[in-house]
Chains A and B, each alone.
Chain A
Amino acid sequence: MSSSATRPRRSRRRRAFSRGDRLTLSIFVGIPTLLHVVLVWIPAILTILLSFTYWTGINFGDITWAGLANYDNIVTKTPAFYDALRNNVIWLLWFGFLATPAGVLLAYQIDRQIRGHKLYQSAYYLPVVLSLAVTGIIWNFMLRPDGFVNGVLGRDIDNAISFFGNYDINIYVIMVMASWRHIGYIMLLYLAGLKAIDPTLREAAAIDGATEWATFRKIILPAMRPVNIIVIVITIIESLRAFDMVYVIYGTSAGLPILGILVFQNIAGEGASMKGAAYAVILFVLSIGPIIAYLRQQFREDVS
C-alpha cells in the first residue's frame, strides 16, 4: 500500500542532492564497494571458477579445465571429506545446543545480577579477547602429552592421556576448547542486548505473576529478536569456518579433519591443487545457504 506513496517522495529527495552531496556519497559508497568487490567478490568468483580446473597455483598457463572432477573426487573418493563433514556437524550441534544456550543463560543470569556476577562476567569474558589461535596454543599447553594436565595427573608421555590423538574423543576435546571462548562471546553479545531492554517490561511480568522461565520465554526472547538473529548467524558461521584452533594443534595433518583444514591442506604448500578451491566452494555454499534461508525468513516476517 505504501509503495506508490514512497516512490515519488524518494525520487524527489534524490533530486535535492547537491553536487557536493553526490560526490561525498559516491566516495563513501563507492570506495567500500570497490574494495568489497575487489577483495571479496572477485576472489570468491575466481575461486568458484578455479574449482572447475586443475592447477598448481603458479603459472596461469597451466590451468586446464577439469569440469566436475574435483567435486567428484571429493564426494566419491575422499573419506576425509565425510569425516570433516561429520566433525563440522558435531561442531554446529554442540555450539547450537550447548555453547550458545549456555552463553545466553549466563548473560541472563548476569543481567539479573546474581551473586558473584561480576566475577562470572570477567571470567567468561576473558577468553573472548584472545584469538582462537591463542586459545589453541593455551589449551595445547594444557592437554598435550607433556602438558600441564598430564603433569598434574603424574603421567609421563608414555602413558599420557591422549586428548588430541584419540580419534574417538578428540572432537569433543576441541569442542570444550572452542566453547570456552564461544560462550563468553555469546554472553557478551546477549548481555549488551539485555541491557537495552526496558526493565519495566520485566516488572510488569513479575507483577502479573509470570515465572522466571515464562518471563524469559515470552518477554525477553521476543524483545531480543535482532540479537537472536545475530547470535544464530554467528553460531553457524563460527561452526563452519572453524580453522585456527585446529590448525594450531594439528597443523595440516588430518588429526582432526574439518572443512576449513581440508581447504587449506589442498591449497597451501607444494600439494596445491584446485581440490582445495572445490572444498572452499562447498564450505561457502554450506555456510551461506542456511544463513540466507534464515535471514530471508526473518525479513519476510518483519515485512508482514
Chain B
Amino acid sequence: MSGNTSPIRGSDLGFKMTRRELFIGAAGLAGAGALLAACGGDKAVGPLSFGARTVDESPTKQLKALVAAYEAKTGNSVTYNATESNAFQNNLSQYLQGTPDDAFQWMAGFRMQFFADQGLLVDLSDVWDKIGDQYSESYKIASTGLDGKQYFVPQSWYPWGLHFRKSMLSELGIDPDGIYNWDDFMKMLDGMKSKGLIGFAAGDKGGWEAMGTFDMLNARINGYQYHVDLLAGREKWTDPRTAEVFKYWEMLVPYMNDNVLDLEWDGAMQLLLQRKAGAMLMGSWFGGNFKEQSDADYEDLWIIPFPEINPEHKRDTIDAPIDGYCVAKNGSNNDGGKDFLAFAGDMEGVQAMLDTGVPMTSANKGQDTSSYDAFQTQQLAVMAEAKYITQFLDRDTRPDFAGPVVGPAFQSWFKNPKDVNKILESLQAQWDALPPL
C-alpha cells in the first residue's frame, strides 16, 4: 500500500512491465519433459472453497476434474462455486472485500495488479518457489504485482487470431497459409462474399468483443509500441494514426454480418460453426465449444495470425491473454487457497484438467506438446511468429476506461462508422478526464 503515495508513477511502471517485458519469448512453451517438482500436498490445510468464473460446459468439466484430483490427493474438501463470467467480473471488488472463496479464477496483467495493489490478494511467492521452475520467465512476469511479488498462478493462455474452417477455404480454393497480408485477406473475404457468405463474423453486444479487432488492427498498422503507448495514454486517440485504424476497420464492415450489435462473441462463433461465415477474429478458447458440437467440427477449425498491413510491423504482435488463479486475502483459509493453487499450477493438476479431453493450451512448460492436436499446434505456431505479446485491450488499460468508455465508443462506431472523428475526440476527452491513479 506504500505505492499509493506515488500512484501515477506506480501504474506507469506497471504498464511498462506488463507490456514490454511481458513474456517476450513466451513461445518457448515447447520445452517438454522436466515435469513434477514437489507439489503442494500439505494435508493439514483443511476444507477450502474455490470460485470459478465460468458456467460453460467445457471449462467447468476441466475445473471440476482439477478439484476432484486435488481432493483425491490431499483429502481436503473443496467447495466449488461457479459464477457467470461477466457477473463475476462486475462483482469482483465487492466479492474480494466481503467473504470471497479462498482461491478464485482470474486474469493476469493489469487486472490482477490492481487488486494486488489494493491489498486484496495473497502473496503467492512461496507457491512460485514450489512451481516456478515449471513456467517460463514471461509467465512469472505476468503473475507479478507492482511490488515484485507474485499474486497469480497461470492456468492457460490463448492467442487471438483469424479463425476459419479449413473445409470452407478449400471449397474456395484458398490455401490458408497463403493468407499473409491484407490483400490476401481481402481476396478471401471477397471469395466468401461472392458465395453469399458473411466474410468476417463479428459480435459486439457485450461491448468487449470488438476490442480484439482494434488491438490487432492498431498493432498491424501502427506497431506494438504505438498500441501500448496509446493504451497507456502516452499517445492520443485523436492522432491521425488512430483514425487510420478505423479506416481499415471500415473496410471490413461490408463483409460483416448486419447484426454485430445483436450478437455476443458466441453468436459470432455460431456463424462460423454453422458455416454462415468464413472467418472470425477471436481468442482460441472457443475450440472447446466446437468440440462440444462434434469432433469433426473441431478438426475443421484453424487459426492464422491476423494479416500483415504495414510491412514494417509484419505480424509481430498478438493478443494472448493468460487466465489463471489468485488467492483472496479475505478468504477464510489462505493456506488452503495457496495449497490448492500449488496443486493447480503443478503439472499434476494441469494433467487432471487435460485428462478430461477438453483442449487446453496450458501455461505449464511440462505439458507434453507432442500430445497437442493439430489446432493446438497451430496455436503455438501463431504464437511463435509474434515478437510482442499483449493481453487484451480491457486487460492492458485502466479498467475505468476500458469498460465504461472504450466499449460504448466502439459500439457507437458500429452504429455509425462515419462518426469516427467525433468518437475519437470523445475518447480522448474522456481519457483526459480520468482521475489520477
Which A positions have Cβ atoms within 8 angstroms of B?
54, 56-59, 61-62, 64, 66, 69, 72-73, 77-80, 144-146, 156-160, 162-167, 250-255, 257, 262, 264-266, 268-273, 275
Contact = CB atoms under 8 A, between A and B. Distances in A.
Interface in B70-92: 86, 89-92
Nearest to A53: B435
Interface of B: 1, 4, 86, 89-94, 97, 111, 114-115, 118-120, 198, 205-208, 257-263, 267, 270-271, 274, 276-277, 398-404, 407-408, 411-412, 415, 426, 429-430, 433, 435-436
A56 B404 CA distance: 14
Contact of B408 (A59, A66, A162, A257): A257
Contacts of A78: 426, 430
A253 B408 contact: yes
Contact of B205 (A255, A266, A273, A275): A255
B93 A145 contact: no
B111 A271 contact: no
Contacts of B198: 158
Contacts of A59: 1, 4, 118-119
B354 to A, nearest CB: 30
20 contacts: A66-B435, A72-B433, A77-B433, A145-B263, A156-B276, A157-B267, A157-B271, A158-B198, A160-B259, A164-B262, A165-B205, A165-B263, A250-B205, A252-B86, A254-B412, A265-B403, A266-B400, A268-B90, A272-B400, A273-B400
Contacts of B430: 73, 77-78
B259 A146 contact: no
Contact of A252 (B1, B114, B118, B207): B207
Given A58-B120, A145-B263, A166-B261, A270 B408 contact: no
A212 B208 CA distance: 56
A270 B93 contact: yes
B262 A166 contact: yes
B207 A162 contact: no
B261 A156 contact: no
- Nearest first, the 10 A-B pairs at minimum CB distance are A165-B262, A253-B207, A254-B408, A54-B435, A270-B399, A165-B261, A271-B400, A162-B259, A269-B90, A271-B399
A53 B111 CA distance: 23
Contacts of B262: 144-145, 160, 162-166
B105 to A, nearest CB: 15
Nearest to B86: A251
Contact of A57 (B93, B119, B267, B429): B93
Contacts of B415: 167
Given A269-B90, A271-B400, A253 B205 contact: yes
A268 B403 CA distance: 10
Nearest to A159: B258
Nearest to A251: B86
A269 to B, nearest CB: 4
A158 B276 contact: yes
Contact of A58 (B118, B271, B276): B118
A72 B435 CA distance: 12
Given A58-B120, A78-B430, A145-B262, A269 B411 contact: no
A210 B262 CA distance: 52
A171 to B, nearest CB: 13
